[in-house]
Chain A
Amino acid sequence: MSDAPSAYQPPPVAIHPAGHGHTPHHPYLQHHFDNMEQQAEASTLGMWVFLVTEIMFFGGLFMAYLVYRWQAPLGFQEASHHLNIYWGAANTAILIVSSLTMAFAVRAAQTSQPARKQVFWLVSTMVFGAAFLGIKAIEYSDKFKDHIIPGPDFVWHGLYPKPAEQFYSLYFAMTGLHALHMVIGLGIMSVITWMAWRKTFDNEYYTPVEVAGLYWHFVDIVWIFLFPLLYLIGRHYHAAA
Chain B
Amino acid sequence: MSGHVAPKSMYYGVFGALMVGTALTVAAAFVDMGALNNVVMLAIAITKALLVILFFMHVRWSTRLTWVVAASGFFWLLILFGLTMQDYLTRGWVDGTWR
Q: Is residue B76 within 8 Å, beta carbon to beta carbon, of the partner chain?
A: yes
Q: How near does chain B come to A213, taking the closest CB pair, in angstroms?
A: 7
A92, B34: Cα distance in complex, Å: 24
Q: How far, in angstroms, from A214 to B54 measured CA to CA in the complex? A: 11
CB-based nearest A residue for B17: A96
Q: Which residue of B lies closest to A35 (CB)?
A: B1
A60 to chain B: which residues have CB within 8 Å?
Answer: 80
Classify chain B's interface size. Answer: 35 or more
A221 to B51, CA, bound (A): 10
A107/B29 contact (C-beta < 8 A), A100-B15, A214-B57, A221-B49 known? no
Interface membership of B93, Cβ < 8 A: no
A41 adjacent to chain B (CB < 8 Å): yes
Cβ contacts under 8 Å, B42 to chain A: 228
Query: Is B22's CB under 8 angstroms from A96's CB?
Result: yes
Q: Is the CB of A55 within 8 A of B74?
A: yes
Residues on A with C-beta less than 8 A from B65 are 45
Q: Provide the bound-state CA to CA distance between A111 and B31, in Å.
A: 45
Contact yes or no, A221 B29, CB < 8 A: no
B86 in the interface (beta carbon within 8 A): no
Collect the chain B residues with CB atoms within 8 Å of residue A56's CB.
73, 76-77, 80
B84 at the interface (CB under 8 A from A): yes
Contact flags B46-88 to A (C-beta < 8 A → 1, else 0) = 0011001101111000110110011011101100110011001
In contact, B19 and A111 (Cβ under 8 angstroms): no
Q: Which of B42, B44, B48, B85 has the most CB of A within 10 A?
A: B48
Judge whether B45 and A107 touch: CB under 8 Å: no
A67-B88, A100-B11, A203-B2 known; A48+B77 contact, CB < 8 A? no
Residue of B2, B29, B34 near A110 (CB, 8 A) is B2
Q: Which residues of B contact A220 (CB under 8 A)?
A: 52
